[in-house]
Amino acid sequence: MGSFDSPYIVHLVGALWTTPSTLKCVLEFMGMGDLRDYLSKHSHAEYPWHEKIKSINSVVQALVYLHSMQIIHRILKSRNVLLDSIKGTKLTDFGVSREDIQETMTVDVGTYRWVAPEILQLNHYTVAADIFSFGMLLSEFDAHDITYANVINEKNGKPLVDTAIVGMVIAGTIKPKFSNGMPAWLHDVAVRCIESDPNDCPTAYELVNIFREHTAYAFPLYPVVLLFKGDSQDVVPFPPPSMSSVPNGMPDFNPGMTLHGEQTIEIHRPLPPGGSTVTCHKSILSFHPKGASGALMETEYKMVDADGQPLATLVMGSFYRGLESTFKGQGRIAPRRPAMPKRDPDVVLALATSPAQAQFYRLSGDYNPLHIDYEFAESAGFPQPILHGLCTMGVTARALLQSFCSNNSNGFKKMSVRFSKPCFPGETLETRMWKTSASTVQFQVRVVERNTIVLDARNSFIFHLHSMATGITRFQAVFRGNRSRKLHVERVKQNQVWSPFVPCKMQAVHAMLSLGRVSAEDTLLDIGSGDGRIVFAVVQEPYSVKKAIGIDIDPVLIRQCLQSPQYSKATEFILDDWVNVNFGDVTIITMFFLPHESIARLLAAKCKPGTRVVTYVFGIAEWTPIATISTVPFL
């Protein structure tokens, strides 16, 4: 295990012992514990499939790495999968792994529920053993329980013991059952993995390709790297011809002293997924001396499709360190950046980079030796190769899309950054985000390990509002209240914090709960939960429901609810669009939406029969209400 070097394998820190029999391994810390515990403590709504697939993909990547090193893990189960909010998902527990994939491996250890039938029958391992165990692991992801946990002995009504399960597995009379909630393509993968004939199982390499075909790999920043590669499919020189021209009269300079100082990208339309001809028009916007420290040049690139329609506009600021300019600045004066917000950030998200991050990122086309050559980096004044600025920007874009666009890359509109200091590969980037308007975010990025700001707080991100939710937007209900929209706008101005949420009166809350005939046996789901007042009210007397769940797309409001003193085991809050959430055992739904042509169809598909739906301010045209009341104004 000490020889492994993969972001998908738990790192061995060291070992300690007092006697040989007390030898202990010290592993890297994974803050969320193992998958078995996480599944048992979280519902399907709390751990939806789009999040599970990220973890499953990491396990697949770990298998590819192990098999490439001629190693079989042998017992792939949820206890051997560790989770961390920053590091992601990693594989561990190699106490029973064996090297040399070509040799026979006897079945002397292991947990039988995860062991392949051919091992139980022939007492030797094959490469398919890990794939079979992977199929069993998918069953755990699906059921949130260990495989065959619900199989009952018909004679005594108790769960089957392992020995009985082993016999049924060998006989081929038992296999895991997968739910209809599992994505269809993943269901097919799971069934293939647990085939009785190991020759019918996919390899780890096949699994990687399957995941690539069925998961959304979207790169909104890709237009930036087109400047490097152009139409080349090979290694390109640095700097590439498209970026090497400079203004007339510019003195000679050392290319190694050139830094990527600033970058702005605005997406007008996504790049055609099938490929097309893209033309780039380049112009130098400005060139300004910055005293003895150097000079800054701004270059604009406008990308259009074959019909001349705009795809993206980029502005790159290149800083030439130590370049002494003998002439005055030329061109435009760069727009003034906004001041740093004087309050705590609304969202903070940390993402780790890999020690090999620069080696991977350079394949996008930026082959600057500053990012891989130690001698070159030292000649430029750095202790080691630095991470590409655009890679730092890409990690930050991921944090922004995750926090404000539900990972919907179509939400990306415009992003501007200023690279203040470099990041080194392997460091953790913490993005601190302030929402400053309905669709604008300011952000700052620091390296956690060195407490160093690498992108200052004057950076900005603009996103499309529709990307926040693919269904109905909660805040529209505000405009149907008994007061004017102007009052709502004034409140927002006074608070100086953008938030579409305006709380309703508690009289309206109790009126809705009474209308829905809420009882202690109910599980309530509040769509657009805001400050959580319905959720917190319904778990108390006189309602005292066993469970209340709030869903909202605003991370600030969700964080406030989770930190509220009223938060308890009976309450739960989910940051997501409601159309992505599994309603599970919900028996009553409350919401404040406006009418929407698809709402009846969407709710009918997600609710179990008998679920009560209580709405305020609006009706659902396709449904006839069984009861209505007149109550207090919304505001």
Q: Is 207 left (phi over 0), alpha (psi -120 to 50) or beta?
A: alpha
Burial degree of 500 (CB within 10 A; 0-12, 13-18, 19+): buried
> Hey, where are the domains in the chain?
12-214, 222-246+253-468, 474-615
Rounded Cα gap, residues 384 and 373, in angstroms = 8
Domain 474-615: what homologous superfamily?
Answer: Vaccinia Virus protein VP39 (3.40.50.150)
- Per-residue pLDDT of 424-481, as tens digits, reads 999 999 999 888 876 788 999 999 999 999 998 778 888 765 444 322 222 222 222 2
Q: What is the pLDDT of residue 498?
A: 38
How long a stretch of residues is the chain?
Answer: 635
Rounded Cα gap, residues 166 and 169, in angstroms = 5
Q: DSSP for 561-623?
A: HHTSTT--TTEEEEES-GGGS--TT--EEEE-PPP-TTHHHHHHHHSPTT-EEEESS---TTS
Chain center to CA of 66: 25
Rounded Cα gap, residues 286 and 288, in angstroms = 6
Residue 43 Cα distances to 39, 145, 574, angstroms: 7, 11, 11
Q: With b meaning 16 or more CB within 10 Å and e meaning fewer, what string describes 405-440?
A: bbbbbebbbbbbbbbbebbbbebbbbbbbbbbeebb
Q: Which two tokens stand for residue 384?
A: 């080691």
Residue 530 Cα distances to 43, 464, 556, 557, 612, angstroms: 21, 21, 9, 6, 21
Domain 12-214 is found in CATH 3.40.50.720:
no
Q: Which two tokens stand for residue 46?
A: 């709390």
Q: What is the pLDDT of residue 217?
A: 55
Tell me the CATH architecture of domain 222-246+253-468.
Answer: Roll (3.10)
> pLDDT under 50 in the chain at which residues?
95-110, 466-500, 631-635
**SS3 annotation, 172-193:** CCCCCCCCCCCCHHHHHHHHHH
Rounded Cα gap, residues 58 and 137, in angstroms = 13
Rounded Cα gap, residues 292 and 255, in angstroms = 17
- Peptide bond before residue 542 is cis, with ω within 30 degrees of 0: yes
Beta bridge partners of 416: 264, 460
| Those residues with Cβ within 8 angstroms of residue 22's Cβ, 6 or more apart along the chain or in another chain | none
Rounded Cα gap, residues 442 and 419, in angstroms = 15
Whether residue 478 contacts residue 500, with contact meaning beta carbons closer than 8 Å, is answered with: yes
Rounded Cα gap, residues 335 and 339, in angstroms = 12
Q: Which two tokens stand for residue 496?
A: 């100086």
Torsion sign, CA atoms 406, 412, 418, 423 = positive
User: Same topology for domains 222-246+253-468 and 474-615, yes or no?
Assistant: no
Q: Which helix (H) or strand (E) holds 13?
A: strand 12-16
Q: DSSP for 202-224?
A: PPHHHHHHHHHHHS----TTHHH
User: At 439, is the secondary structure helix, strand, or coil?
Assistant: coil
Rounded Cα gap, residues 550 and 552, in angstroms = 7
| Those residues with Cβ within 8 angstroms of residue 627's Cβ, 6 or more apart along the chain or in another chain | 515
Rounded Cα gap, residues 245 and 465, in angstroms = 38
User: At 299, is the secondary structure helix, strand, or coil?
Assistant: strand
Beta bridge partners of 591: 527, 615
Q: What is the pLDDT of residue 208?
A: 84
